[in-house]
Structure formats: C-alpha cells, structure tokens
Amino acid sequence: MDKVLFIGKFNESTKSIQKYLKDHINVQMCSDNLDIVKSMVQMYKPNSILINLNELDENNKPLLRYVNEIDLKTSVLVVGTEAECQLFSVELLSSKFEILKHPISNDKILDKINEVLSNKTKPGKEVEAKQDDRKTILLVDDSPVMLRSLKKMLEDQYRITMATSGEQAMQIIDKDMPNLVILDYEMPVCDGRQTLEMIRAREDAVDLPVIFLTGHGDAKHIKSVLALNPAAYFLKPPMPDKLLTTISGLI
C-alpha cells in the first residue's frame, strides 16, 4: 500500500487534515523537526509527502530544502495560505513542490494525493526516461516574483533553472552549464556586474550569452549596463514576445 508522510505542526489545522486522511489512505504524521523528518523518511520510506505550512516559520526553510532533495516518484504536496506560501517563496520555486492553496477542503487534498500517487512510477515497471533536449536558460534574480514570472514566460520552450543570488548562480553553472543567462542587474551583495565578471572569468563561459534585466530606464543607468557588453538588456518587466525573439536569436 502507498505510504504518505504528513509533515506539520501538531496544531488544529494539521489534526483536522490527518484525521480525515487516515480513514482513506496510509498516512503517517511527523513533526516539523528536521532531524525527526530525516529519520522518518529513512524508516517509513514514503511514496509521497504532504506538508502543512500552517504555523511554520523561517526556521523551517532547511526542512523544505531537505524535502526537495528526497528521491521521490511523486510531487511533494504543500498546503498553505497565500501568506504562508510567500514566506517560503524561494524554497517552493522548485518544480518538485505542488501547492494547494487555502481555502481547500480535506476531500480536495485527498483527491490530489490520490492523483499524484496514481501517476507515480510503479515498482518494477521499466519506464523509458524522457530526455529533455531543450536548451537551458538560467534565471538569476533576488525577486521570487520575477523568477516565477520569467519561468512562466519561457518554460514551454526552454528548460529553466533558477538562482536568487550571484553566488547561487555560479554554483548552478558549475553543475549544469546553461545555454543562456538572464541576469538581474540590481541585486544585493553580489550584483549583476559582479556576477557577469565571475561568469566571464570562466574559460568555458566566455561566450555564454547574458541578458541583463534592469528596473531603471534613465540614460545614465542604461549606459552603465551597456558598458558591460551584455548580449541584450530589457527593462522590467520584459515583454514575453520580444524576450523570446531575442533569445531565439542568441541560442
């Protein structure tokens, strides 16, 4: 029988969901303590994971990052309000998470669990892996809202990876060299200029096309952006058709 690990605070919201689910599926409740979650994953070996964001806080961000790394055949379902999801906006950018926004009924949560379980790879069944031959674009912006917007514009035609800082972008480039980078010019700590310098310092990325995004349209600012010789630049928010046309001419 399929097993679902349900992670959350032991509050009324979680108890209500767990009470309903246990009458229909094999669900195991688990606290939001990261060490306990790790132990439960190893011991229980769930087929899917459900997370209730109610009353979780900044300290739970490592928990979501850990869950994102677990090798599952299904999406990780996350239940939360708009505000709760916004708190974990960066962590939830991963395509592994599927968000169920409150208000949502317990029966709708159950329906979604059954849906993801029915779509998982069956044990012992050989499935030919689908190779994604699309070209890869790395999006770099400290704004999760902008990242989501750009991803939505591009994901039908390109494989998308995302970073919220220059440092994270370089880590991604180390592991998976993209075909093009869309880079926010104004970022804290390590801005677009510094990130571009780090990219061009790599021998294998000298010719990597980089498109700058900037929120300032004054002549002085644009001149400073163009002085870095990007492949192109756009004012935020970019027009989807113009951005796609520019990208297709570069890669």
Helix (H, G, I), strand (E, B) or coil at 162: strand
Contacts of 93 (CB under 8 A, 6+ apart): 144, 147, 148, 151, 162
Q: Which domains does the chain have, with CATH numbers?
A: 3-118 (3.40.50.2300), 136-250 (3.40.50.2300)
The one-letter amino acid code at 103 reads P
What confidence tier does 243 reach under pLDDT thresholds 50, 70, 90?
very high
> Could you report the per-residue pLDDT of 87-113, keeping only the tens digit for each?
998 888 888 899 999 899 999 999 999
Of residues 18, 4, 23, the one with CA closest to residue 54: 18
Closest CA to 161 of 179, 195, 137, 129: 137
Cα 8 from chain centroid (whole Å): 20
| Three-state secondary structure readout of 117-142 | HHCCCCCCCCCCCCCCCCCEEEEECC
Cβ neighbors of 238 (< 8 A, separation 6 or more) are: 150, 153, 213
> What's the pLDDT tens digit per position in 150-192?
999 999 999 998 888 888 889 889 888 999 999 998 888 788 8
Query: Which stretch of 12-26, 68-82, 212-226 has the lowest confidence by average pLDDT?
Result: 212-226
Read off the pTM: 0.61
CA distance 178 to 176: 6
**Statement: residue 4 has pLDDT above 60:** yes
* CA dist., res. 89 & res. 111, Å (int): 24
Per-residue confidence at 35, pLDDT binned at 50, 70, 90?
Answer: very high
